[in-house]
Amino acid sequence: MPPASPGRIAGLSLVVGDSPRVLILGSFPSRMSLSASEYYGNPRNHFWHIAGSLLGFDPALPYAARVAELMGHGIALWDMVHSCRREGSADLQIRNPVYNDLTGFLLIHPTIRFVALNGMAAGRFWHTATALSVPRPKVTVMVLPSTSPANARLSLAEKEQRWTVIDVR
């Protein structure tokens, strides 16, 4: 990926271990996440609570331990957007996105069987960026409810129930 140019914001690096089976894709990190250099760095975001509940780890663990838990369960973590222009943290404010190389990722990681798109914005970006280019005969792609605190229409329990489709066996 090219470096971010002036006025552009660069996202976070890919989190991936050996032989991942699941790829979770967000849209682009919030300002808080970028500042902390952590995926889902806003403590009000439900992602780590849901992941901890589904995988059996304490969501209050230090970030490195939470990431290790994901990788240990065959889960990779990334965002659809590599860099963009954006005011604030809202997905609707993302302008001129440059997408991450998902085609290349899936070719290098043929063990991926499930792509979970964290929210509707990630879903829109997926269809824009990958509609014709992603080889996916054995890859299931599903848009799941956003774990963002901005998604208040679903309770934590409802979000957690919908995220149980992620099979880490």
pLDDT at 119: 92
pLDDT at 38: 97
Nearest to 86 by CA among 13, 16, 156, 9: 9
Is residue 118 within 8 A of residue 146, CB to CB? The reply is yes
Residues in CB range of 32: below 8 A, 6 or more apart: 41, 42, 89
pLDDT at 85: 87
Residue entry with tokens 């970028």? 34
What pLDDT digit, counting tens, does each position of 71-115 carry?
999 999 999 999 998 887 666 678 899 999 998 898 899 999 999
Q: Is the pLDDT of residue 161 over 60?
A: yes
pLDDT at 103: 86
pLDDT at 150: 84
Q: Is the pLDDT of residue 139 over 90?
A: no
What pLDDT digit, counting tens, does each position of 9-68 carry?
999 999 999 999 999 999 999 999 999 999 999 999 999 999 999 999 999 999 999 999
CATH architecture of the domain formed by 9-163 = 3-Layer(aba) Sandwich (3.40)
What pLDDT digit, counting tens, does each position of 75-86 carry?
999 999 999 988
Q: Is the pLDDT of residue 124 over 80?
A: yes
Written as one string, the DSSP assignment of 105-157 is HHHH-TT--EEEEESHHHHHHHHHHHTTT---TT-EEEEE---STT--SS-HH
Residue entry with tokens 């996202």? 11
- Burial pattern 43-68, b for ≥16 Cβ within 10 A else e, equals eebbbbbbbbbbbebebeeeeeebbe
Q: Is the pLDDT of residue 126 over 80?
A: yes
Average predicted confidence (pLDDT) for the chain: 89
Neighbours of 169 (CB within 10 A): 5
Task: Work out the percent of the chain whose per-residue pLDDT is above 90.
Answer: 66
